[in-house]
Structure 1
């Protein structure tokens, strides 16, 4: 693993570089816009459409929902890229989804000016990530193609309620079929026995008749 890191010039903390660069910039804009929303008079009439007053929260909650939605789309489209084979990729994605859902109630009281910057930043991140996923852009920037691992098939459990019920039903049907076949065989056997008994009785009657006729002739 260390040899692989040295070959490509990366470390396990390399993905954190983006966070260390973006986080201070985002926080600077966040506090700057919040301060301007409180102290700059033009923010009260500098908006458009339903958000004319940029210093007040969104009464229709359109901005908080748009902010959470754009962040969720960015997570779904770009978070997994570059994390193939990483066992923590699923955890990171689920945490990001939870943060996207919680961002709606947590940001309802923010000034609308912050959302104008935040949603624009989310859209830029979304487009930026989609562009970097294009094969032509990757080739131009020298980004290696990451092989996609074949999907692993999860083995089916050896026991389930449905299979147990099916096996019981099949066993019951097999027993019924065996019982019916035995009944049919016994009937056939009884019929054969009865027919043979009748035949033997007829033969005995014929023998008696023949003997009786012989006696009569002798007389």
Structure 2
């Protein structure tokens, strides 16, 4: 016999996660009901991917790699939709920080200030 536990009955290591959320995701132990966080994770990663793979004449292997990463990004959205908001929020913040870092390090003034090659 399987024991079914509803999210409200499941044990939580940190009970504050149920009440310390923000904006539309007040309960960090359940998935985002609006899909805003999962879609933002996928969108940020897809934009970053497209910006990184801007190659004038890509080889066949580079085209395949880009399509594989696109597929991975699309698969990430339903995965992010079923994990608790706390994980999805972490992924969104991490992706946003990585994207900001990517944009910052593309700037030639920042690269020269840091002593990085062009």
TM range (shorter): 0.7 to 0.9
Partners of 2:115 and 2:67 in 1: how far apart?
30
Task: Kindly indicate whether residue 117 of structure 2 is the aligned counterpart of residue 122 of structure 1.
Answer: no
Listed one character per residue, the Cα deviations across residues 3-34 of structure 1 (whole Å, up to 9, x for unaligned) are xxxxxxxxxxxxxxxxxxxxxxxxxxxxxxxx
Match of 1:46 among 17, 20, 32: 20
Partners of 1:43 and 1:108 in 2: how far apart?
18
Q: Report which of the two structures shows the higher radius of gyration computed on alpha carbons.
A: 1
Q: What do you get for the CA RMSD once the two structures are aligned?
A: 2.3
Gaps of 5+ in 1: 1-36, 146-219
Q: For 1:62-81, what aligned pairs fall within 5 Å after superposition?
A: 62-77=36-51, 79-80=52-53
Higher relative contact order (CA 8 A, sep 6+): 2
Number of positions where the alignment pairs a residue of Structure 1 with one of Structure 2: 107
TM-score (normalised: structure 2): 0.77
TM-score (normalised: structure 1): 0.44
Deviates more, 1:93-102 or 1:42-51: 93-102
Partners of 2:63 and 2:112 in 1: how far apart?
27
Partners of 2:90 and 2:80 in 1: how far apart?
13
Partners of 1:52 and 1:75 in 2: how far apart?
31
Partners of 2:23 and 2:17 in 1: how far apart?
14
